[in-house]
Amino acid sequence: MPPSNRPMFTMTADALVIADFGPRAPRRRRAPGPYRRLLATPGARAFTIGNLLARLPMGMFGVSAVVMIAGTRGSYALAGAVTAAGLGATAVVAPWTARLVDRHGQAKIAVPATVLAALGSLALLLCVRLGAPAWTLFVSYAATATTPNLGGMSRARWAHLLDGDERSLHVANSFEQAVDEACFMLGPVLAAFLCTAFFPEAGTLTGVVLLVSGVLVFTAQRATEPPVRGRGPARAPLRAPGVPPLLAVCLAMGAVFGSMEVVTIAFADTQGHRSAAGVVLALQAAGSCAAGLVYGARSRTGAGSAADRYVWCITAMTALLTLPLLAASLTGSLPVLAVALLIAGMATAPTMVTGMTLIQRRTPPGRLNEGMTLAVTGLLAGIACGSAAGGWTAEHVSPPAGYGIPVTAGAVALMTALGWVRR
């Protein structure tokens, strides 16, 4: 064939592919997940790191105090009563601390308040170490009540940075709740390990170091700190419509957490595995943390259905709380109890996220940290009651019977939420 009549096949390999199969679609980059986008907010990662360091001891102090006091004094009732007194004092002092934070700024109030709380923890350590009278334990632990609400301050920063973006605020609330659960997942494990592997006071001492250093890092991030708004509106968050019933639910839920912690430690002790109590409690927090992250990644449904979701979440939590009671009563096996606690914890974070969202919506502007702290105060007061009731039941009846306290508290939370929604 002459050259002039020969077909021209001088295309490159890429051009041949395009000719055969049409234009190649550009590769689509996967969009970042909601939590990655959240932490990409300017300044978010810096204050989150400090907040994580400071919040980890929140899961350490309770277990450390129970192990330290029960190990030296031989009484879970005393250990539960001391922690209850400290949490009760926090329930009274924390709202005043939060109000000062709203009026004067996070950095100016949080640092001195943390130093006072650290001194209280060190005083408790010394009183236990030196064999001081029992009343000194109550006074020392009550001095830790000035610990600032780090979760509330972090949520206030998110509300300031996101400025009304409801979808992003939902993700931020879920992230913060997952952080809470992660701290209560890792904290008990670390505390139990330190108290048993080294010396009984090691958990408290480590917690003090982490708390002070974390608060210093957190408050150093001044660019993300919410602006001070003076005294704020005349109406206090406690008097805002719909807030008191929500705080009552927080009180009942706190009783669930407090009783569960003390009873689980007592149950593990009767099995001869006191050091495993932290791991067992961590599994409950792990289930809650995973559920919280999944709940936050989902698209938020209509704003009007938040109250209904709250009731359904509490219903699920109350139903799942029967599993640890059945596992401890019917099997007496610590591994079976651990699995039951893992499953039971899966309803905790969605319940807390929805509850905190409802309280945020009803808190007057300029007093968000105080509103969040009132919710935490309700939880702490409930934890105090639950710790005392759980410790008494575990010592005077039996540890398996103690798991009836969280079920009862969950039922009270459900009845309170149902009454509020109907009104």
Residue 348: Cβ-neighbour burial (10 angstroms; 0-12, 13-18, 19+): buried
Average pLDDT over residues 152-161: 81
Contact 352, 222 (CB under 8 A): no
Task: Write out the two tokens for 380.
Answer: 């702490």
Directed axis angle between helix 134-142 and helix 61-73, to 10°? Answer: 170
Please give the C-alpha separations between residue 56 and each of 49, 162, 179, 234, 322, in angstroms, as whole numbers.
Answer: 11, 25, 9, 35, 28
> How many angstroms separate the first and last alpha carbons of the chain?
94
Indicate whether 15 pLDDT > 50: no
The mean pLDDT value for 85-105 works out to: 81
Output the pLDDT for position 115. 92
The answer to whether 92 and 145 are in contact (CB under 8 A) is yes
Sign, Cα dihedral of 162, 167, 168, 173: positive
**CB atoms near residue 282 (< 10 Å):** 26
Per-residue tokens: 409: 């508290």
Structure tokens given for 222: 């001044």
Residues 6+ apart with CB under 8 A from 246: 355, 358, 359, 362, 375, 420
How much of the chain exceeds pLDDT 90, in percent? 7
In sign, the C-alpha dihedral spanning 84, 90, 91, 93 is: positive
Q: Cβ–Cβ contacts within 10 Å for residue 103, how many?
A: 18
Q: What is the pLDDT of residues 334-380, one digit of tens each?
A: 889 889 988 988 888 888 888 887 887 777 766 777 777 788 778 87
Q: pLDDT band for position 18 (50/70/90)?
A: very low
* Per-residue tokens: 4: 């002039």
Q: What is the DSSP letter of 305?
A: G
pTM, 2 dp: 0.69
Does residue 211 carry a pLDDT above 80? Answer: yes
Determine the average pLDDT of the residues in 232-236: 56
> Which pLDDT score is estimated for 4?
44
pLDDT band at 119 (very low <50, low <70, confident <90, very high): very high
